[in-house]
Amino acid sequence: MEGRKTIYLCLAHMSEEGWEQKYVKEAFDTNWVVPMGPNVNAFEKDLADFANSKTDGSEPLDRKVVCLSAGTAAVHLALLACGVGPGDEVIVQSFTFCASSHPITYCGAKPVFIGSEKETWNMDPDLLEKAIIDRKEKTGKYPKAIVPVALYGMPYQIDKIMAIADKYGIPVVEDAAEGMGSRFNGQVLGTFGKYGVLSFNGNKMITTSGGGALICRSAEDANEIMWYATQARDAYPYYQHSAIGYNYRMSNVCAGIGRGQMTVLNDHIAHHKHVQGLYEELLADVKGVTVNSQPKCRVESLEFSDSSKVESGEYDSNYWLCTMTLDPSVKVKGQENAYKEVIKTAVGGAAGVIHQVDSATTDCQPNDNVEAMRVFMLNKKVECRPVWKPMHKQPVYKDAPVYTNGVEEDIFKIGMCLPAGPYVTDEDVKYIVECIREAIV
């Protein structure tokens, strides 16, 4: 163990050719270090080319992309562009990171949380339609937007979700922050809805150190987003503002990193899929451990209550993070000590400041064996984390409406994330699996 590297969940990996340094150097050499510039324009074009591509042989799309300071900023601006404001409701997946829901509150609106279905762990279309109908009955109006999430890169049931959204005339903001490069029926996630959110945080499929982007359906929509992202200045020779704007544009320096990262995007996606395949193979015979994988291609027609039909689709996950579930019956070394001490520092390689708490437990937490596995793996220098805690179980959203069958709560109790980034080698995966085997009593 001594001298062994720590295996983190997912860390960014620079291109071997050093394109990132080249473009960043250009930004400094030309003194373009502001939140605009040639790198930003070029990065947006590269992203649009990728987003518009299809793998089924059909004609490419014509989406536009706006680079922003964070994926969270992209969600915020997309909601504003959908007309979300004080007093409105927005439907959002509960099983996700807080960046999917917090921007709803930035707008003065209220999140309505939707539980998950078992196949993809993402938004349950049946619960979605139930919530839409119920909110209309309770409030007299439909929610202003729907935010499905590509959890750990897994495509959501976009065929059903889009059919329901179209049926009730509600715009969809796809949170594909974790799903860059994931596809559904050969089409890139984030290009189905009115807007699509991407993230380039340090642990994502590609990185700009921090940053995000918004995929828009038209140049007009993209220009409106850019206007809001640059303080919403009107066309006068002096500063005049007819709307509240934001300082959300990406810097030319960060965009230079992004341009270099685009050269390795496809390699990163292929690597993550390879790592997923190794986990599935090496953990197949470990009793009580199940590696979560994408649904098989479904070819049947999906029929709705009004007799309308839509063909189901083919999933192509980028496997941003590989995940597994641990059966409650599995005993893990050190399980008797789980949750005995209050966490003193942030957990994870990219974690920041945390707010100290008095209790080591909450009313909704992973099972003792999952926590014991996390601690055991950490002592083996392997970072494994619990899956996202559902947002409707977060104290800050205790009063928010929720529509759930309990699927995401059950997964939270038994789920774990496994390392899958570009730095994770085949030997690392074998070591991780050996450690999991060793941990089980």
Cβ-based neighbours of 213, under 8 Å, separated by 6 or more: 44, 47, 65, 66, 67, 68, 71, 74, 197, 198, 200, 250
| CA 57 to chain CA mean position, Å | 27
* Residue 289: exposure state from Cβ atoms within 10 A (0-12, 13-18, ≥19): buried
Q: What are the b/e assignments for 308-332, b being 16+ CB within 10 Å?
A: eeeebbbbbbbbbbbbbbbeeebeb
Q: Which tokens belong to 293?
A: 């994988």
Cβ-based neighbours of 359, under 8 Å, separated by 6 or more: 342
Q: Does 2 fall in a domain?
A: no
Q: Does 3 fall in a domain?
A: no
Q: Which tokens belong to 28?
A: 């400094």
What's the structural domain count of the chain? 1
| CA 37 to chain CA mean position, Å | 27
Token pair 């499929």 in the structure block, residue: 205
Could you tell me the CA-to-CA distances from 48 to 24, 27, 93, 137, 184 in Å, in that order?
A: 21, 21, 26, 40, 17
Q: Does 10 fall in a domain?
A: no
Tens of pLDDT, residue by residue over 95-106, are: 999 999 999 999
**What average pLDDT does this structure show over 244-255?**
95
Mean pLDDT of the chain: 92
Would you say 400 and 110 are in contact if contact means Cβ atoms under 8 Å apart? yes
What was the pLDDT predicted at 296?
A: 84
Tens of pLDDT, residue by residue over 66-103, are: 999 999 999 999 999 999 999 999 999 999 999 999 99
Nearest residue to 350 (alpha-carbon basis) of 137, 97, 142: 97
The DSSP call for residue 180 is T
Would you say 256 and 23 are in contact if contact means Cβ atoms under 8 Å apart? yes
Nearest residue to 230 (alpha-carbon basis) of 16, 40, 95, 365: 40
pLDDT over threshold 50, residue 134: yes
pLDDT over threshold 60, residue 311: no
How many CA atoms, within 13 angstroms, populate the side-chain half-sphere of residue 236? Answer: 8
**What average pLDDT does this structure show over 227-245?**
96
Would you say 65 and 93 are in contact if contact means Cβ atoms under 8 Å apart? no
Question: Please, which pLDDT band fits residue 315 given cuts at 50, 70 and 90?
Answer: very high
Would you say 332 and 439 are in contact if contact means Cβ atoms under 8 Å apart? yes
Q: Going by DSSP bridges, is the β-strand pair 110-114/402-403 parallel, antiparallel, or unpaired?
A: parallel
**What average pLDDT does this structure show over 293-317?**
65
pLDDT over threshold 60, residue 309: no
Q: Does 176 fall in a domain?
A: yes
Cβ-based neighbours of 427, under 8 Å, separated by 6 or more: none
pLDDT over threshold 80, residue 350: no
Provide the residue range defining the domain that includes 290: 19-439
More confidently predicted of 380 and 363? 380
The DSSP call for residue 316 is E
Nearest residue to 56 (alpha-carbon basis) of 151, 171, 176, 185: 185
Tens of pLDDT, residue by residue over 381-436, are: 999 999 999 999 999 999 999 999 999 999 999 999 999 999 999 999 999 999 99
CATH classification at residue 47: 3.40.640.10
DSSP string covering 380-400: TTB--EEPPPPGGGSGGGTTS
Q: Which tokens belong to 86?
A: 């004080």
Minimum mean pLDDT among 1-10, 119-128, 192-201, 396-405: which range?
1-10
Tens of pLDDT, residue by residue over 322-338, are: 999 999 999 999 999 99
What was the pLDDT predicted at 345?
A: 64
Q: What are the b/e assignments for 358-386, b being 16+ CB within 10 Å?
A: eeeeeeebbbbbbbbbbbbbeebbbbbbb
Question: Please, which pLDDT band fits residue 310 given cuts at 50, 70 and 90?
Answer: very low
CA-to-CA distance for 387 and 324, rounded, in angstroms?
A: 9
Please state whether the predicted TM-score (pTM) of the whole model is above 0.75. Answer: yes
Quote the percentage of the chain above a pLDDT of 90.
Answer: 82
What was the pLDDT predicted at 346?
A: 64
pLDDT over threshold 80, residue 347: no
Residues in the chain: 441
Q: Does 7 fall in a domain?
A: no
Question: Please, which pLDDT band fits residue 351 given cuts at 50, 70 and 90?
Answer: low
Tens of pLDDT, residue by residue over 195-222, are: 999 999 989 999 998 899 999 999 999 9
What was the pLDDT predicted at 327?
A: 98
